[in-house]
Amino acid sequence: MKKIMLTTIMLFVSIVVFIGCQKDSTLTIKPQAKKISFAVSFKKNLVPLFTKYCAVAGCHVGGGQAPDLTASKAFGAITSPSAGMISLSDPQSSKLYGYLTGKLTPAMPMGKSSNPEDLNDLFLAWITQGAKNN
C-alpha cells in the first residue's frame, strides 16, 4: 500500500513539475541598432567599407563573386533593378541588408563573425535615405 501511495505521489509531483516547466514562448532581445543621424554618403561612407571588406582578392572584384563592389562599379552593381539588391519601399527586406545581417546566406562580409564598423546600420540608413549615389 505504501508503494502505491508513494508511486502516486511521485507521479503527481512529476506531472505538476512537468506542466509548470513548459515554455510558452521565446523572448528574443535584439541589440539596439545604432541610430544614424546623418546623411550617409555612398562615396564617403560606404565605398571605403566595400574596399576594405568586400572588394578584396577572391571576393567581390572583377572576375570574382558577383556583384563587383570595386569603387567604380559598386553603385551600379547593387542598385540596378536586375540585381534586386535594394528595396526602397522596405529597406529591411533588401537583399544587401539580408546578407549583411545574416538573414541570407552566406552572411557577409565572409569570414567575419560579426559586421565591423556598424556596416548593418550604415547600409540600412543609406537604403532608407533613398540609396543615392552621393
Burial class of residue 60 in the structure, from the number of CB atoms within 10 Å of its CB (0-12 exposed, 13-18 middle, 19+ buried)? buried
**Spatial separation of the C-alpha atoms in residues 42 and 33, rounded to whole Å:** 20
- Residue 66 φ then ψ, to 5°: -75, 150
| Residue extents of the structural domains in the chain | 42-128
Cell numbers standing for residue 128? 532608407
Residues 42, 133 contacting (CB under 8 angstroms): yes
Q: Model-level pTM? A: 0.72
Residues 64-73 have pLDDT tens digits of 999 999 999 9
pLDDT digits (tens, 9 = 90+) for 72-116: 999 999 999 999 999 999 999 999 999 998 899 988 888 776 677
Q: Which pLDDT belongs to residue 11?
A: 61
For residue 128, the tally of other CB atoms under 10 A from its CB is 15
